[in-house]
Amino acid sequence: MTGPAATPGTNAGSAAEAPVMLEVEHLVVEFRSGKERVQAVSDISFEVRTGETLGLVGESGCGKTTTGRALVQVQPATSGSVRFQGQDLGRLSKRELRKTRTRIQMIFQDPISSLNPRRRIRDIVAEPLAIWGTGSAEERAAQVRSMLESVGIDPDTAGDRRPQEFSGGQCQRISIARALMAKPSMLICDEPVSALDVSVQAQILNLLADLKAAFGLTMVFIAHDLAVVKNVSDRVAVMYLGKLVELADSDDLYRSPAHPYTEALMASIPEPDPEHVSTHEPLTGELPSPLNPPSGCRFRTRCPYVQDRCASEEPPLREVSPGHQVACHFPLRQLSPVPERPAATTV
Amino acid sequence: MLAYLAKRLGQLVVVGFIISILVFLLVHLLPGDPTVVILGPNDTAHNRALLLAQLGLNKPLYQQYWIWISHVFSGNLGESYVTHESVGHIIATGFPIDLELIIVSQVVAFAVAIPLALFTARRPNRPVDNVATTGTFGLLALPPFVIAPVFVAVFAVALKWFPATGYTSFTTDPATNIHDMILPGLALTAASIAVYYRLLRSDLISTLQEDFITMARSKGLSNRYIMMRHAFRPSTFSLMAAAGVNIGALLAGTFIVEYLFAMNGLGYSIVVAVQQRDYLVIQGIALVVAIAYVVLQFIVDFLFTVVDPRVTRE
Amino acid sequence: SSSSSSTAGTKAQSGTAGINHGTPKRGGTAIIGNDADIDGFYPPSNHWDNNGFLYANCIYDPLMAVAADGSIQPYLCKSMTPNADYTVWTMTLRPGIQFHDGSALDATVVKNNYDALQASLLTGLALKFLKNVTVVDSMTVNFNLNEPYVPLPAGLATQVGYMVSQSMIDAEKGGNSNPTPVGTGPFVYSSWLPNNHFTAVRNPHYWRSGYPYLDQITFRPIPDHSQRVATLQSGGVDLIVSTDPVTITQFQGQSSYQVVDSLSDTLGEPDMSFIMLNCLAAPMDDLRIRQALAKGINYPAFAKLFDSGLNLATTGLFPPGSKYFSQTGYPTYDPAAAKALVKAYTAEKGTPTFDLATVTDARLTRVTQVLQSMWQAIGCKVNLQAIEQAQLISNTIVGNYQAVTYEQFAAPDPSINYVWWSTTTVAPVGKIALNFARNSDPQIEAALVTGRSSSNPSDVIAAYQKVNERLAVDLPYLWLGRTSWSAVADSRIQNFAGTILPGGKPGKGFDNGSFFSTQIWMEG
Amino acid sequence: MPDDRELRSTGSGQTLPTDTFPGQAAVDEMVVMRQEPAPETDEALARRPLGLLFWLALGWVGLVVLLAVIANLLPLPNPNLQNYAAINVGPSLHHLLGTDDLGRDLLSRIIYGARVSLVVGFGAVGIGMAIGGTLGLISGFRGGKLDIVLNAASFVILAFPAIVAVIAIVAFWGQTLAKITIIIGVATIPVLFRVVRASSLAYANRDFVVAARTLGATSTRIVFKEILPNVIPVAVAFGLIAVAGVIVLEGSLAFLGLSVALPTPSWGNIISEGTSNGNLSTNPYILMWPALAMFLLLLSINLIGDRLRQRFDVREGLL
Amino acid sequence: MIRPTAGRGNAGTLHFPDVSDLADPLLEVEDLVTSFRTTRGTVHAVDRVSLTVNRGQTLGVVGESGSGKTVLSRSIMGLLPARDVLRSGTVRFAGHDLTAMEPAQLRQVWGAQLSMIFQDPMTALNPVVRIGRQITESLRLHLKMDRKEATATAIELLRSVGIPSPEQRIRSYPFQLSGGMRQRVMIAIALACAPRLVLADEPTTGLDVTVQAQILDLLAAMQQERHMAVILVTHDLGVVAKRADDIAVMYAGRIVERAPTRTLFAHTRMPYTRALMDSIPRLSDPSGTRLRAIGGRPPDLIHPPTGCRFSPRCPYVQDKCREADPPLRTAGSPDHLFACWFPLVDGVPSGPSGSGQPVTLTTNGAPNNAVEAPAS
Ligand SMILES: Nc1ncnc2c1ncn2[C@@H]1O[C@H](COP(=O)(O)OP(=O)(O)OP(=O)(O)O)[C@@H](O)[C@H]1O
Ligand SMILES: Nc1ncnc2c1ncn2[C@@H]1O[C@H](COP(=O)(O)OP(=O)(O)OP(=O)(O)O)[C@@H](O)[C@H]1O
Ligand SMILES: [Mg+2]
Ligand SMILES: [Mg+2]
């Protein structure tokens, strides 16, 4: 199954031709504590086109959140650049950056803590307008109302209340509403659904899809639930220990992962179906410490297909098929094309 | 660790230096000067000029400061203008008194506040808790100068359990020393009990709401064990921070109690020195107190790291 | 023996508390609670208050001392005789007296003592009349004066009469400003921890053979009055010294305590409590205001409030019974007259407004509150100031005050107070003046000169009566009473207020808060 | 310079120990457990019973404040009027609380004394809060050099023996109520600075602050709109305890003669008078009444603070 | 094997013999009610829940957030706040009624016989106590081990839950571990004394799939080894699908459907369960597929809706649903209980019934023997 990617989803039709909105080059983020340095993100590059949704997946602690925060410049990059609509965000002055803020927004991993517990929902959502002094008080109130309505929150009962009076799902929607009030062209969503139960999760994913359709929103969607990522993304990037290991169209990636880590990820997905039989051995071993990552390929310590070369040489990210990049010396696509999986049985 | 110590030492030097300048300026800005006290009624213009020259107080301030601070660095704090006692000796005899007062009062405060808080935090706002709260606030409303005479009337005059006044150093006679310290220590203890009790209680209440307490219960551990081993330690931060500030304030801040109990501690000595414009004594004590304060904060910070491993040094 | 019996016994013998003539016992340690510490033991560089003399009387002996009859008696010296015009006094020392370090008391050491005293910034002023002291022979010195000074022996019963050893003088000259005290006194210095305790032990080689009775004497300064009382009651000290009249009423009549006080002391010049007015500062520069203030004090009420009625109305420097006593004509309580005076003043210069300053002391702040209330009742506006001691002294010296509480003038002889009242020591406000009240009265000056230079006792008495009367006219001082010194001892302490001078005469026992410890003994 | 930042936790996102104050740590957990609230929650919150004690306490504080304010209008004798015919009389119809050793009416003195105590207590803490609190808020949020410098300054003030400074300043400057309030107020600045700074620090890197920044909020806006509302409950609760502390402190200064000039009554100096001149044994009422009034006020203030905190506190009432 | 002394007859069980018949269920919960008194009103967090768990079996409990899963498991344990809680009903565990036990007796059961894995490993581990001690303290308490023995056992336990170099890790504090490791430490603590029943409250939320799989496998292995029963609480149907023998679906404090896992997936009766399953994004669906969310919101547990609690959100709601509360009952297989007036048959609701009697259903040829649940 080589060749062009399968027909993209309904909403990704023009993504490939669309102009690049976000361009990440050689991004490195380091945390320092005392003498120790943790490279949470080590040298990753990717781009996101206008109107596209890029999914970002990977093991817990691999640097997804850090990447997301570096994109919106709340986490300073150690090196590398983030270009947004042609501007290098890292080089902007404080004032210029502040102006750019409205166009690129982030939904934080923990929706509850990203809302000020002491402020009323109405004020929180109106904050972007208040900051920029947009419109009169009444205009703002009207905008807040319509935005709350569109994220499925009743503005009449909710407006006067404070975040802690809402469930996680509602908080998530409120923080989405706030992010959208700024009318961004790009939205970074950091695990917006991981703590939510399936029904709330479904509501939010639908909402994002609607927004994307309505506003042509460009998104980076971070999650660890692969089914969710697949559902929302046009393309998916897989991270492992601070590195980008695979990047492909989502259907393509799920159909035939080229990196052993991606394959292991797919295999570990619990199917909500008691009849489903898993074909792969689950991944074993602990995530190596980012303090001293393994030499060569970082996945080699847990890779079932490891070879000598993996320890000595770091695999570069390269294309195995058009639009499908992988960082592996022995990508699964070349060694043995993965047989198409039997369609999961549904009830 | 070494780097940390070095950094701390650096802080100590800087803070000590700033304080030395401030103290120096402040005492020299005080109205009146030592000649008034020393010469008293013999304060004639002539005598005063002579005395000022004798004491080196006729030099420009910055020179005086320089002379003083360079002596300090060679370990010489000078001597009292009034009694001619060496400042080093005043501090050496006074510091242990403050230290003992602090130890006695704080040990008692902890000994009362901690068990009380451990006892009441499990069932807040119950009668026992209300009684304890009321009681500790009663203590807070009674300043040491009220408590001291009452204690003396009861425990010294009526019961003759403890001496009414006086201080014998520990090295001279440990038993008498401890005997002497009880009442003044208790007079200082009251306010600390209230503050510590309140802080620990409220922190304990928060801690007891933590999941890890339920987790500990789910292991079948006894309530006592949970309070002691699981709840207490994570609840001691405010307590330690408050104790740090409080103990710092007690350093040379015990004037009233030392005055009432006729103890020549630093608190008493520094106030007397201020009243007598005994510059070198004030400066010496203030400097030592400042250094002690920095060291104290160092200890508190260190205790933080002991109590909570998440807190790191640097 | 129980105190009641001993007190009763004492009364049977002498009629005075604190003076016992029973059989003395040897040994024991007396612990005395006093109100503050000495500032040092070297007479040239310290100034001694009652506590200073308490300590000094243990370590040192004075050249002269006051006897119970008011006469000045030789102590360390054998005799002292003036020349005809009282400008040269020849003193013969008692033979065989040794300092604690074994050195002998001779003419040289006395001369060296005076050289040091004269050179001192502190004591030099008090010895202004003294040209020098010269050695005549090993046991004889001459005091050569600049001017006639008749009451010189009384002057030598003060701080400048206490002789220290050559070793101390040398040590001081050598740069040790705090030399170990070495005297000829009944006790030998043992330890001094300022503001904690002072201890001296029996001098086995004391020249007054048989004395002292005690093995050891310890002084513990306890600054707070009630705590000092509590310490006595709890047995922490055997004797306390106090200025608070409450002490007297509290303990008088209690069989287990003996109380002596200075209220009936008629010798020399007593310690006076008064309000000092700055005669050069408005509104006190107007005599009418000073008069109004004097008339405005409801003295009977005042005495009842403060001295429990013990302190008799005071009209001047000398109490009835003193040889200097006379009716001074000091104004009595007359609110109507006071109001009229204030009214007159107000009409001219506006409401008299002034600060009444005091040190931060519970009793004195109470005094000032009462005075404020009384003076406001006659139409003055009084602000109370609590200022700490050093600043208060400083203010009074330069005249930066209007009215201030003061205690002063205790002296074996009134002449010693010359500088405080002399017109020669007045200076304008802002300049240093020893006449703090800045009262220039030529009549006082003349009387004072007579008082110190006349050898005729009746002239002297007349002179000081004149001073006293003039003060009642000029009103630089509003008398509040005598400072009510008292000592309270538990029943074990004997004879703390009775001392026999070397010549055999009884000495002045309790002298403004101090006493000799030579003949104290302890029972049981 | 000493810097709480050293005490930061590493990893694990738990609240920082130095920055902890009761009630913040488990907010998140709680929210997970919270069910969709009834629509009238805000009113319900307002109706949450504060307890009889709270109202008693509030009543007492209110009464004290009211009496102090309208003291002039009350049929009270002049608090400084000395009546030597009625010295140290016990409580009676004529003198409800008795008189002191100068025959002054104790009730009147205590009511007028409340003025001083309240002005000093609230005024000083107000000053400390306005300056120390504001600096703490900014310092905790901004960090960096500013924080280091302010910390060092607070440290220097804290390490300086306070009594020396007070004696010096009072000697230098005088003893009016306003001055005493300012002096004590200045002394509380570093303490309040550190408390507020600690909790500001705790919020400085919270997600909602970061979120506000991504929206383009300026630092000033973040400090006042995002951080301040969170710091206020802690600051108020601590401030109330500080008020209690300052009222007692004024008493200690009065004991040393360093507080407001006499005969202006303050609870502190009435207590101080009650312990001197033998009054403790002859007339214990002098000490007792103001001590009682002060005790009840402290207790009430604290109780109010406690209950208010409980109410503001998101977490309380869960378990 | 985790620990040589584990199993019956160890010191900890002496006070707590299993008095029930081995064939009887290990845990029988009957009419368990747990409510919280709050200032807004009483929150009926768990409402008349009955369930049973057999030895060695796994019961999955699923439901939306806030449906009472955590409260249920804490209520079974008896670990509820001391005040403002109402609990009634019985919890029989190994033949003993836990609700009737004194705290001192309960403490002998907790940790030793019955243990719990808490929902959030971040907060459930004491941040200032080394993990070693957090494991050994219950060993020392219940199994009377000495320090050395307990430490050795703790190391073994850590090793068995897959923590590398446990000898060193035992000295770590929780904050020094990654989220996955902490979760495993929690499991090690819960398993330390070889309890008969483990209540695992969302043991894998917030973990990525690879770690999640590891943990679930580990739990299953231990269960096999020790014949241990597990209540697996989760909102992720994917997790329970292959791990549980039975599944109970909770909604608004009640169990609304209960069946063996396969039966439940194959013949879902409750529209709610169905809706839950439908809202899961499927890997098999192409990217961008619209999800079928459940409309509306979970009910207010203070004023729950009358009738069927799911009725306001149920796509097939009928008048009856709003009026009468459906009892828990069976249809088809006797072990499939559900609370719905119009249960689904092959994905479509059965017809309305005017009689108010439970509808008799025939599914997969099962006998027509609907039984009213014994509930009140
Ligand atoms: N403030 C920090 N200081 C030090 N290390 C950090 C910090 N924040 C993150 N890290 C480390 O950086 C790495 C990446 O963390 P990040 O939060 O980006 O992971 P993630 O992929 O978002 O994980 P998760 O799925 O758990 O959210 C981890 O090893 C983490 O320990
Ligand atoms: N202490 C309490 N006081 C009042 N209400 C409570 C308390 N604890 C839980 N609740 C309520 O009980 C209900 C059930 O909560 P529970 O935590 O059991 O839900 P859950 O099913 O575990 O949800 P999640 O999936 O989010 O963990 C919720 O509405 C919650 O608000
Ligand atoms: Mg993340
Ligand atoms: Mg739960």
Chain segment D31-52, per-residue pLDDT in tens: 222 223 333 333 333 345 667 7
Same domain for E121 and E222, yes or no, is yes
Per-residue model confidence as pLDDT tens digits over D186-208: 888 888 887 788 778 777 777 78
Per-residue model confidence as pLDDT tens digits over C207-255: 998 889 999 999 999 988 888 999 999 999 999 998 888 788 888 888 8
C392 vs B216 pLDDT, higher one: B216
Q: What is the CATH number of the domain that holds D125?
A: 1.10.3720.10
- Is the residue at D21 inside a domain? no
**Interatomic CA distance for residues C76 and C56, integer angstroms:** 14
C203 pLDDT higher than 60: yes
C-alpha pair distances (Å), A23 with each of A26, A58, A245, C231, C312? 10, 20, 17, 85, 102
Q: From A62, A240, A244, give the residue whose CB has the most ligand 1 atoms within 8 Å, as the site to mutate.
A: A62
- Is the residue at D113 inside a domain? yes
Domains and CATH numbers, chain B: 2-73 (no CATH), 87-313 (1.10.3720.10)
- Does the beta carbon of A65 sit less than 6 angstroms from any atom of ligand 1? yes
With CA atoms as reference, report the closest residue to C71 among C419, C465, C510, C501. C501
- Is the residue at E148 inside a domain? yes
> How much is the pLDDT for B14?
80
Same domain for E202 and E260, yes or no, is no
| Contacts B–E by Cβ distance under 8 A | 77
- Is the residue at D218 inside a domain? yes
Question: Phi and psi (nearest 5°) for E164?
Answer: -70, 155
At residue E1, the 3 state secondary structure works out as coil
- Is the residue at E342 inside a domain? yes
> How much is the pLDDT for B28?
83
Per-residue model confidence as pLDDT tens digits over C274-333: 999 999 998 999 999 999 999 999 888 888 887 666 766 678 888 888 888 888 889 989
A119 vs D229: CB contact, 8 Å cut-off? yes
With CA atoms as reference, report the closest residue to A269 among A311, A334, A225. A225
Structural domain range at position E115: 3-8+26-244
Per-residue model confidence as pLDDT tens digits over D36-93: 333 333 333 334 566 777 888 889 889 988 988 888 888 888 888 888 887 888 888 8
D169 pLDDT higher than 90: no
| Contacts D–E by Cβ distance under 8 A | 46
Contact residues for B273 (Cβ-Cβ < 8 A; gap 6+): B80, B281, B282, B285
- Is the residue at D136 inside a domain? yes
Same domain for E238 and E303, yes or no, is no
Residues with CB under 6 Å of ligand 2 are: A 197; D 32-35, 318-319; E 36, 38, 43, 45, 63, 65-71, 81, 119, 235, 301
- Is the residue at E215 inside a domain? yes
Number of domains in chain E: 2
Per-residue model confidence as pLDDT tens digits over E323-357: 888 888 877 677 888 888 888 877 677 755 433 34
| pTM listed for this prediction | 0.81
Q: Does B157 touch chain D (CB under 8 A)?
A: no
- Is the residue at D188 inside a domain? yes
Ligand 2 centre and the CA of E271: distance in Å?
23
List chains touching A (3+ CB pairs under 8 A): B, D, E
Same domain for E66 and E114, yes or no, is yes
D102 vs C373: CB contact, 8 Å cut-off? yes
Find the farthest-apart pair of alpha carbons in chain A and give their distance in angstroms, rounded. Answer: 68
**Interatomic CA distance for residues C463 and A144, integer angstroms:** 100
- Is the residue at D56 inside a domain? yes
Contact residues for E221 (Cβ-Cβ < 8 A; gap 6+): none
Rg for chain C, CA atoms, rounded: 23
- Is the residue at E21 inside a domain? no
Q: From D28, D29, D32, D33, give the residue whose CB has the most ligand 2 atoms within 8 Å, as the site to mutate.
A: D33
Same domain for E232 and E351, yes or no, is no
- Does the beta carbon of A151 sit less than 6 angstroms from any atom of ligand 1? no
D299 vs B248: CB contact, 8 Å cut-off? no
Task: Give the residues of chain E that fall short of pLDDT 50.
Answer: 1-14, 353-376
Considering only residues 70 to 89 of chain A, which have any Cβ-Cβ distance to chain D shorter than 8 Å? 72, 74
- Is the residue at E13 inside a domain? no
DSSP chain B: -HHHHHHHHHHHHHHHHHHHHHHHHHHHHSSS-HHHHHHGGG--HHHHHHHHHHHTTTS-HHHHHHHHHHHHHTT---B-TTT--BHHHHHHHHHHHHHHHHHHHHHHHHHHHHHHHHHHHTSTTSHHHHHHHHHHHHHHHS-HHHHHHHHIIIIIIIS-SS-SS----TTT-HHHHHHHHHHHHHHHHHHHHHHHHHHHHHHHHHHHTSHHHHHHHHTT--HHHIIIIIITGGG-HHHHHHHHHHHHHHTT--HHHHHHTT---HHHHHHHHHHTT-HHHHHHHHHHHHHHHHHHHHHHHHHHHHH-TTB---
Same domain for E134 and E193, yes or no, is yes
Q: What is the CATH number of the domain that holds E207?
A: 3.40.50.300
Nearest chain C residue (CA) to D274: C362
A199 vs E276: CB contact, 8 Å cut-off? yes
- Is the residue at D292 inside a domain? yes
At residue A278, the 3 state secondary structure works out as coil
- Does the beta carbon of A244 sit less than 6 angstroms from any atom of ligand 1? no
pLDDT band at residue B312 using 50, 70 and 90 as cut-offs: low
C-beta separation of B314 from B4 below 8 A:
yes
Per-residue model confidence as pLDDT tens digits over A209-230: 887 888 788 999 998 778 888 8
DSSP E36-105: EEETTEEEEEEEEEEEEE-TT-EEEEEE-TTSSHHHHHHHHHT---SSSEEEEEEEEETTEEGGG--HHH
Going by alpha carbons, the residue nearest to atom 9 of ligand 2 is D33
**Interatomic CA distance for residues D191 and D185, integer angstroms:** 10
As given in the structure block, the two tokens for residue B186 are 């208790």
- Does the beta carbon of A315 sit less than 6 angstroms from any atom of ligand 1? no
Q: Report the nearest atom of ligand 2 relative to the CA of E80.
A: 1
- Is the residue at E336 inside a domain? yes
Listed range (B23-37, C225-239, D118-132) with the worst mean pLDDT: B23-37
Same domain for E240 and E336, yes or no, is no
D26 pLDDT higher than 70: no
- Is the residue at E19 inside a domain? no
Round the average pLDDT of chain B to a whole number and report it.
83
**Interatomic CA distance for residues C243 and C228, integer angstroms:** 12
Same domain for E277 and E157, yes or no, is no
Question: Phi and psi (nearest 5°) for C262?
Answer: -100, 10
- Is the residue at D203 inside a domain? yes
How many angstroms from the chain centroid is the CA of residue C276? 18
**Interatomic CA distance for residues A271 and A252, integer angstroms:** 20
Question: What would the mean pLDDT of C89-118 be, rounded to a whole number?
Answer: 93
Q: C touches E (3+ CB pairs < 8 Å)?
A: no
Tokens 């703090």 sit on residue? C436
Nearest chain D residue (CA) to B251: D161
The amino acid present at D192, given as its one-letter code, is L
Per-residue model confidence as pLDDT tens digits over A122-179: 889 998 888 888 888 888 889 899 888 877 777 877 777 777 767 666 787 888 888 8
> How much is the pLDDT for A9?
40
- Is the residue at E123 inside a domain? yes
pLDDT band at residue C163 using 50, 70 and 90 as cut-offs: very high
- Does the beta carbon of A293 sit less than 6 angstroms from any atom of ligand 1? no
Number of domains in chain D: 1
Same domain for E353 and E210, yes or no, is no
Same domain for E82 and E159, yes or no, is yes
Nearest chain D residue (CA) to A133: D217
List chains touching E (3+ CB pairs under 8 A): A, B, D
As given in the structure block, the two tokens for residue A49 are 């086109």
C-beta separation of A48 from A218 below 8 A:
yes
Helix-then-strand count for chain A, H and E: 12, 12
Between A33, A98, A114, which is nearest D211 by CB? A114
Same domain for E57 and E200, yes or no, is yes
DSSP C79-130: EEEE-TTSSEEEEEEPTT-B-TTS-B--HHHHHHHHHHHHHSTTTTGGGTTE
**Interatomic CA distance for residues A269 and A225, integer angstroms:** 8
Considering only residues 146 to 175 of chain E, which have any Cβ-Cβ distance to chain D shorter than 8 Å? 174-175
For the beta sheet containing E85-93, the strands, ordered from the edge strand earlier in sequence to the opposite edge, are E41-53, E27-38, E85-93, E96-97
**Interatomic CA distance for residues A307 and A314, integer angstroms:** 12
List chains touching B (3+ CB pairs under 8 A): A, C, D, E
As given in the structure block, the two tokens for residue C20 are 């016992």
Same domain for E361 and E263, yes or no, is yes
**Interatomic CA distance for residues A302 and A300, integer angstroms:** 5
> How much is the pLDDT for C12?
33
Q: Does C36 touch chain B (CB under 8 A)?
A: no
